[in-house]
Amino acid sequence: MKQLILASSSSRRIELLKKAGFRFRVIPSGINERSWEKRATDPVELVKTLAIKKVKKAASKLEEGIVVGADTVVEIDGEIFGKPISIIEARNMLKKLNGNFHNVYTGLALLDVKSKKSLVDYEKTKVKFRKLNLRKIKSVSKNNLDKAGSYAIQDENTSLVEKIQGNYDNVVGLPVKKLRKMLSKLEKWVEERKNG
């Protein structure tokens, strides 16, 4: 397999890739997600757009390899939550999620630097929050200003989440199973093009 480059400095994504046995380099894209999230109305289009922007930005510094980009948001009742910019915003997000179902979307993009061939897709997982008291909301909001929706399922899943319908890794921030399928598809396409 060609060298894999992760266009993210997210410790959660790095950990998931390592756990899945991937060897990769990290080149953060530096994309400003907030400006896109503020005007977005469709979570699927948002995460796919940001994922492809991230891979293109990281790929501009490279001559070869396959760049992986991902973007995760939380959506409840048509409202889209990225990373909060303050503790107050984090608490407001958690209050809305409290005791309710919400959707977690992760956009996933791959780009083969040499051939310029790209693939983009997304994963959706439904999550039900437990009913949390104000003390718990305050505690969680303080620690998760760098997480979409102001929470990290891998750190606090026992106390926050009652039920998950779909892929757990997606809620952490990188649907590894989908990534494997997309990598296989991209490599097959690049190989066919080279030989034919």
Phi, psi dihedral angles at 117 (to 5 degrees): -75, 135
Which residue is catalytic, options 42, 71, 112, 121? 71
Among this protein's residues, is 71 annotated catalytic? Answer: yes
Assess contact for 4 and 66: CB atoms under 8 A.
yes
Buried b (16+ CB within 10 A) or exposed e, 35-59: ebbeebeebbebbbbbbbbbbbbbb
> Residues with catalytic annotation?
71
